[in-house]
Amino acid sequence: MLEVVKGVKEKLGWETLDYTPNEKIIFPCINTFSDMVKELKKEDIDENAIEEWEKACEDSEPLFNGYPVCKEHNVLLTIFGCHVCND
């Protein structure tokens, strides 16, 4: 996760977006997220929580479809499509 945060701070992949992210909004949030990840301990993780999440998922969601990726951007698709394509 910290490597993902590093990529955001280095603006990795931003050229694929059809907009320019607002750094004044994003960077403070990503810094807070980074701090939270750094403080996370194994005992903070509830391994049974995934069961509730899986029950809430519908059959069409990526969890049950092999985690498909966008052919153009090679990012994981969500139930809303590709976040880079914004479709």
DSSP-assigned letters across all residues of 70-83: -TTT--B-BTTB-T
Residues 36, 56 within the same domain: no
Residues 68, 82 within the same domain: yes
Residues 30, 64 within the same domain: no
Residue 79 pLDDT level (bands cut at 50, 70, 90): confident
Residues 6, 41 within the same domain: yes
Rounded to whole angstroms, the Cα distance separating 12 from 6 reads 9
What domain range includes position 17? 2-45
Q: Decide which of 64 and 34 is more confident.
A: 34
Residue 40 pLDDT level (bands cut at 50, 70, 90): very high
Residues 16, 33 within the same domain: yes
Residues 34, 67 within the same domain: no
**53 touches 41 (CB < 8 A):** no
For residues 4-13, average pLDDT: 94
Residues 32, 66 within the same domain: no
- The 10s digit of each residue's pLDDT in 18-33 is 889 999 999 999 999 9
Rounded to whole angstroms, the Cα distance separating 8 from 38 reads 16
Residues 38, 26 within the same domain: yes
Single pTM value for the model: 0.64
- Is the pLDDT at 81 greater than 80? The verdict is yes
Q: CB neighbours (10 Å) of residue 46?
A: 9
Rounded to whole angstroms, the Cα distance separating 44 from 62 reads 26
